[in-house]
Structure 1
């Protein structure tokens, strides 16, 4: 037996050469090179990595991407008769995945994860938005497919006298694996893993490794994770909220109970960004009605977008629960059966009826189920509206005007109510307004930015008419009205005209300062005031709770009307304050006003304290902890 093994060992490399053929080698080389090219191309095309191409970060990323390609190469080698078919199928799958990554990255500024793929069946209605993100250069993701197809056909017509034994195929696969893991170890040892930011992982370790990392994390968190709330976790939550509410109790109580007993009208406006407020083009205001309303309201001009994989649904989630979005995917899908403390539930205790209103299908974003968890009494969806006017979202969304008008005919206004409006007319890709001369955008006519501005100008006009309707119904002076944008509407890859309009660079600090949404709170008897304290969407619930006199003990956000300092934590772990911006993507602290790089050591403790909010919120979501704390 020993002699036999020795013979096998001595003959492996002498037998290997004649039994491999030039076609097989070329096929394998093309496969590996195409995987590496597509991965590296994706990261530079979509500005995850930057020039110089041969920088240290880029070189380690390329090494890691090569390691990923070698792992893919090693797997089909074990199969003798089907390996070329497997290579071809793998190449198609990688092309489709990377292309999808690119589209998703352009809109959401992050990479696709398993929960997103799982919920892809809900993407059909946004196909026009997807089409608008496609570039001509995207054809490069698929150029290897016809080459490999032709070679596969050629291979299928050839037969070989000598067969490559299984043991030798396995040895070749193992050798490739060892080379792959060894080279990846070099790249891995030179970088630190980021706890929060997916783009950081992609930038340093390559898109291929990220998808492996994501699958491993998904399996761990959904199938191997202990969902039982541990005693130490429960103690941490109790201490966190006791301390948080204890500190809040020492602060001023400005505007406390000022809107108690009044109706609550919350309007979440689609893709409304802060930069359009009080801005003129050719001497005309983009949003004259919101500008006027802001002067008569508490207007917050430093509110950052905090949505993640759930986008619009994340904004809804934060407003109604004051919890952060899920780490991956959307809380609306993943945690729809959790117990939550919400505005609707608290107002229910005060005798209010609550309505969620959105002129789209009730199943989209799993709203039917999630609204039950949030505690809305009634969900008014597209099933309840007469689709009589289409404006926005490619020309098939119910107009905001009709949406507001019909909604107020459905709501019972004879008793106290909470109405949560989610608009649609301002939805990406704004192509409905391409040939509409509703607002003179000058040189930006028929551009992405020009269409966006026209969409927001229309949405503003509809808001103005809605406010007049509320006044005519006697509701304007008896309601707390909250208006805010759900998320940004201009992805960085489509924002060249915006930077030109605002005369800004594409630096990290300039760009993050554009990731703001307007927030205004109008309360009868309260004079207009602009509040510059830094905050986020997670802070909306605590302010409503303070003004309406309801409980918000388990809110992660803060009452910006009474806070001594402001901050916003983004889902990727970045932190913004009144004075600095910590960017998790490059692990750097910047002066928020001038972009100067600051010494991270001076801010580390404070940053970690702010990031603790994410961990607490994650425990609440993933362990359904609020159900277990009561």
Structure 2
């Protein structure tokens, strides 16, 4: 199919050149521009296969690519060597492919700050390669095709003899799209407004229309947001319309301690599910049958590009992720209200800690620990690597949670007469869902899609780890008054979900939606909440369960214990998920606007400037 497309494009190009009666030098220059142009178009095609082809109906889509290709051709006039198109073509290939790989998991192009976090990828090499697809070969193939077409040309002589004409040709190639784009931007009121006009109905079209460079430029413009009286008013107007906390229809005997298990890529469909006659999560299924359990299976994941650290932001602060990049990298040392700070305010002398198998440099978690109010951060060096699982042979969930239990059993980390909030962040569920054969406790036939089989095997392994962890905690008397929260940081399948779900056997197993569970063991409230909620709603729900009624910041979500909680959530792509019967358009718009307000609150460091009172 690709070969046919290339032959057709080359034929069109030759006809175009013949009609214009251009010289061989112009042909070579035009061929270089064309080869770059079609690389950008191929990128758009791959991107749009998973979103919408609406971007191809905008003239900017073609103008921006032609302009960028023409600009990259300018040095070619003076370098006049075959190594220049090879180097440029290779660098463009790398840029486009890595952004497609990122998009297949995070639904966005790579944010500017994340390029400086590339060192984190050393810990996730297998996950990176798992994002590659065969269509990515089209980019280097175009480079090879270009080199084949110019193999007999003496570029040095051709460009030297016709330097003046080539420069004039390039000026036209640059000026025509530049002036056309300028007119479009003037019509919209500037580049920023032109870009933002897409975000209303074409949320994912910004990058294919304006290229990766255009998205990065828009992101840089966003960085310049200043905290003005207008921004303050916009935030406070939204907060004034946020539903007030309603008195709960029942009495809560709040727990004094809380342990959070934040499981990597853990989705809710694996709970209470069997495949080929085998229970996927027997331990969690058994816990769900207990009396003092709160369970919400339909927690819509709302993370963006910074998946794992976004999951912690949602859970701990009740804020939605920022528009671009990792908040931990872009806005270190900003002020946050958090569940951790609220817990310590309620329990004078109480302590909070986070235990993780990752290094503290990953996602800048050392800074997050300070910003959220953790008293202790126990990262990779604090654990013995006696069981290797996952793509980078990190500490397996069974050993990790066993060691977490041993640490929490100590007086230093969890005093018997004190109050403790601890978070344990697992790792084994990280894509591409690989664990050693000796760690596998369940097996499936080849009739099921490989990715689905691997995921269920890992989910079963994590379930076993959590089961052993909770059994240990219950054997310790000081955990009698401890609430255990189990949730996932985000969904696990990304753009591969569709193929798995459409498989004849997969559709009866995997969920079509991106839901993670919210499960509370030894909860003061017995509840099975079968409606849709957002990840951002977990924060105010935890405040209620912990009896923290007077904390000034309730988040931009709403507790599922509130009688007037609406059963829907807004995804990062501005999609409405859930039941909106009886929900007014004003309420839906308010929920959508929460994304912008959260971005403003974080980027402008709103909490460091304003005193929050109960709203």
TM-score range, shorter chain: 0.7 to 0.9
* Contact 1:426–1:459 (CA under 8 A) maintained in structure 2: yes
Q: Secondary structure in 2 aligned to 1:143?
A: helix
* Contact 1:263–1:417 (CA under 8 A) maintained in structure 2: yes
> Residue in 1 aligned with 2:7?
none
Q: Secondary structure in 1 aligned to 2:424?
A: strand
Q: Secondary structure in 2 aligned to 1:419?
A: strand
> Residue in 2 aligned with 1:573?
574
**C-alpha distance 50-571 of structure 1, shift in aligned 2 (>3 A):** closer
> Residue in 2 aligned with 1:597?
none
> Residue in 2 aligned with 1:8?
none
Question: Structure 1 regions of 5+ residues with no counterpart?
Answer: 1-16, 581-590, 592-601
> Residue in 1 aligned with 2:605?
624
Return the alpha-carbon distance in structure 1 between the equivalents of residues 91 and 392 of structure 2.
33
Return the alpha-carbon distance in structure 1 between the equivalents of residues 117 and 392 of structure 2.
25
> Residue in 2 aligned with 1:421?
424
Return the alpha-carbon distance in structure 1 between the equivalents of residues 155 and 194 of structure 2.
49
**Residue of structure 1 aligned with 2:129, choices 125, 128, 131:** 131
**May I ask how many residue pairs the two structures share in their alignment?**
572
Instruction: Give deviations 1:416-453, integer Å, cap 9, x for gaps.
Output: 10101100111111132579752132345681110110
**C-alpha distance 183-536 of structure 1, shift in aligned 2 (>3 A):** same
> Residue in 1 aligned with 2:318?
322
Return the alpha-carbon distance in structure 1 between the equivalents of residues 600 and 424 of structure 2.
29
User: What is the Cα deviation at residue 239 of structure 1?
Assistant: 4.1
Return the alpha-carbon distance in structure 2 between the equivalents of residues 573 and 424 of structure 1.
29
Q: Secondary structure in 1 aligned to 2:503?
A: helix
Aligned alpha-carbon RMSD (Å)? 3.4
The worse-fitting range, judged by mean Cα deviation, of 151-160 and 308-317 is 151-160
Return the alpha-carbon distance in structure 1 between the equivalents of residues 504 and 475 of structure 2.
38
> Residue in 2 aligned with 1:583?
none
Q: Secondary structure in 1 aligned to 2:284?
A: helix
User: What is the Cα deviation at residue 46 of structure 1?
Assistant: 4.8
**Residue of structure 2 aligned with 1:615, choices 588, 593, 596:** 596
* Contact 2:295–2:529 (CA under 8 A) maintained in structure 1: yes
Question: Structure 2 regions of 5+ residues with no counterpart?
Answer: 1-19
**C-alpha distance 264-329 of structure 1, shift in aligned 2 (>3 A):** same
**C-alpha distance 49-299 of structure 1, shift in aligned 2 (>3 A):** closer
* Contact 1:64–1:187 (CA under 8 A) maintained in structure 2: no
**C-alpha distance 552-145 of structure 1, shift in aligned 2 (>3 A):** farther
Return the alpha-carbon distance in structure 1 between the equivalents of residues 281 and 267 of structure 2.
11
- Is 2:343 aligned against 1:347? yes
* Contact 2:55–2:61 (CA under 8 A) maintained in structure 1: no
* Contact 2:487–2:517 (CA under 8 A) maintained in structure 1: yes
* Contact 2:523–2:545 (CA under 8 A) maintained in structure 1: no
TM-score, with structure 1 as normaliser: 0.82
The worse-fitting range, judged by mean Cα deviation, of 291-300 and 357-366 is 291-300
User: What is the Cα deviation at residue 491 of structure 1?
Assistant: 2.2
> Residue in 1 aligned with 2:357?
359
Superposed counterparts of 1:473-622, under 5 Å: 473-493=476-496, 495-500=498-503, 504=507, 513-524=512-523, 526-527=525-526, 529-550=527-548, 551-554=550-553, 555-564=555-564, 565-579=566-580, 605-622=586-603
> Residue in 2 aligned with 1:200?
202
**C-alpha distance 305-170 of structure 1, shift in aligned 2 (>3 A):** same
* Contact 1:323–1:538 (CA under 8 A) maintained in structure 2: yes
* Contact 2:97–2:136 (CA under 8 A) maintained in structure 1: yes
Return the alpha-carbon distance in structure 2 between the equivalents of residues 183 and 604 of structure 1.
37
- Is 2:244 aligned against 1:248? yes
> Residue in 2 aligned with 1:27?
28
User: What is the Cα deviation at residue 400 of structure 1?
Assistant: 1.2
* Contact 2:391–2:432 (CA under 8 A) maintained in structure 1: yes
Instruction: Give deviations 1:305-330, integer Å, cap 9, x for gaps.
Output: 00001101100111111111111111
* Contact 1:339–1:626 (CA under 8 A) maintained in structure 2: yes
**C-alpha distance 259-444 of structure 1, shift in aligned 2 (>3 A):** farther
